[in-house]
Amino acid sequence: MKTLESIEQLNAFLQEGPVITLFSADWCPDCRVIEPILPEIENAYPDFTFVMIDRDQFIELCQEYDVFGIPSFIAFKNGKEIGRFVSKDRKTKEEIMTFISDLPN
């Protein structure tokens, strides 16, 4: 999983192909719980670029995309949002994989 370093970098990822963004933070216990399963999820969906966005470093992106709870996932294709899994609740591997599998083609 790539770690976002700049908004320009995110814009480049969004133009390159399908992207799954994960809004997270170091202090978030629910984010730490899913961290060990993220490589497995990423390997299951090789067509997507996975990008971790630290909500504390990029609070303006959280505001822009209406992300109020973390961890939260937003999927993009051709630079447009195609789905989101945004809530303050802890997410399971199955829920995350179902979200990605159910995204429109």
- Which residues have a catalytic role annotated? 28, 31
For the chain, the three-class secondary structure string (H helix, E strand, C coil) is CEECCCHHHHHHHHHHCCEEEEEECCCCHHHHHHHHHHHHHHHHCCCCEEEEEECCCCHHHHHHCCCCCCCEEEEEECCEEEEEECCCCCCCHHHHHHHHHCCCC
